[in-house]
Amino acid sequence: MTLPSDPRTLQGLRVLLTRSAADNRAWATELERRGASVEALACIASVRLPAGPELAAACEGAAWLVLGSRRAVDAVAEHDVDLPARLACVGPATLAAATARLVQAERPGPAPLVSTDGTMAALAEQLLEQLEGPTQLVLAAADRAGSDLERLLEPAGHTVRRVTVYRTLPAQPARSMGSTGPARPALTGLDAVVLGSPSALEGLTNLRAVPSGLPLVTLGPTTSAAVRTAGLGPVIEAASPDLNGVTAALASLHS
């Protein structure tokens, strides 16, 4: 997917970003360039785990390393571990990080495989088409990552060794001075909220009261399902879980 050609396609939209502080800053610049008024609320944070020994053990004899996010790439790169020869990435941002940090020029080989739609389910289907005979794979991901890879590959005789390389922490409820209960100001003055994960939704609802009827742009079916379960929305699911998809989904609010 490419970004809409009109450089002001988001003119006048008031948007809240709910990723980590650093990720919010990265997206705010482009959305503001396209005319949006952007607010940022850090609803999640990530903590790397000391997973080096577990990762090294899992990689022994494995043919593939599957990377569940850009943060997983960064976490893996911090460990001095002999990695499998083949890499598979859940999306373009993960591929870019893996190419920069994990692909060694002195060790030529097949290019990393990347999901066609930015989901682990699609990546698993692509792997099924390439794997010959029972294959051992390592999945490096967050503690809250879904189980699509195991669900689709293991019934076909493949083995997935999951290594949790970082933990995702939803923001915790704020507390008023002198109060034992959470203080949750209501979200106001917004046209849409962008949610990248169920963890971001949890963090958002810990920090703010979300009014019904406020459009929530989600980055995948798992987040969309979490929003609907919470009784919020309407849901606008981005066609791809990246800035391009978010921009197009926000632009649809003008149509």
Structure confidence at residue 9 (pLDDT): 85
Q: How far apart are CA 234 and CA 8, in angstroms?
A: 24
Single-letter amino acid, residue 176? S
Return the structure tokens found at 90.
Answer: 């859940």
pTM score of the predicted model: 0.83
Q: What is the pLDDT of residue 174?
A: 72
Going by C-alpha positions, the residue among 87, 86, 81 that lies closest to residue 58 is 81
Is-contact 3 244, C-beta < 8 A? yes
Per the CB < 8 A criterion, the answer to whether 3 and 247 are in contact is: yes
pLDDT at 116 over 90: no
pLDDT digits (tens, 9 = 90+) for 84-104: 999 999 988 899 999 999 986
Of the two residues 179 and 171, the one the predictor is more confident about is: 171
Does position 107 have pLDDT exceeding 90, yes or no?
no
pLDDT confidence of residue 175: 64
Q: How confident is the model at residue 7 (pLDDT cuts 50, 70, 90)?
A: low
- Say if residue 117's pLDDT is above 60: yes
pLDDT, residue 226, reads: 96
Report, at the CATH architecture level, how domain 14-43+171-254 is classified: 3-Layer(aba) Sandwich (3.40)
Domain spanning 46-169 has what CATH number? 3.40.50.10090
Token representation of residue 39 = 């607010």
Tens of pLDDT along 195-204? 999 999 999 9
Cα torsion for 216, 221, 222, 224, to the nearest 10°? 20
Look up residue 155 and give its amino acid: P
Domain ranges of the chain: 14-43+171-254, 46-169
Q: What is the pLDDT of residue 180?
A: 59
pLDDT above 60 (res 65) = yes
- Determine how many CB atoms are found less than 10 A away from the CB of residue 97: 20
Q: Is the predicted pLDDT of residue 148 greater than 60, yes or no? A: yes
Query: What pLDDT shows up at residue 33?
Result: 93
φ/ψ of 108, rounded to 5, equals -65, 150
Which pLDDT tens digit goes with each residue over 175-190? 655 555 556 899 999 9
* Main-chain dihedrals φ then ψ at residue 182, nearest 5 degrees: -70, 140
pLDDT band at 2 (very low <50, low <70, confident <90, very high): very low
- 14-43+171-254 matches 46-169 in fold: yes
Task: Please tell me the distance from the alpha carbon of residue 181 to that of residue 192, in angstroms, as a whole number.
Answer: 27
pLDDT in tens, 228-250: 999 999 999 999 888 999 999 99
pLDDT at residue 3 tops 50: no
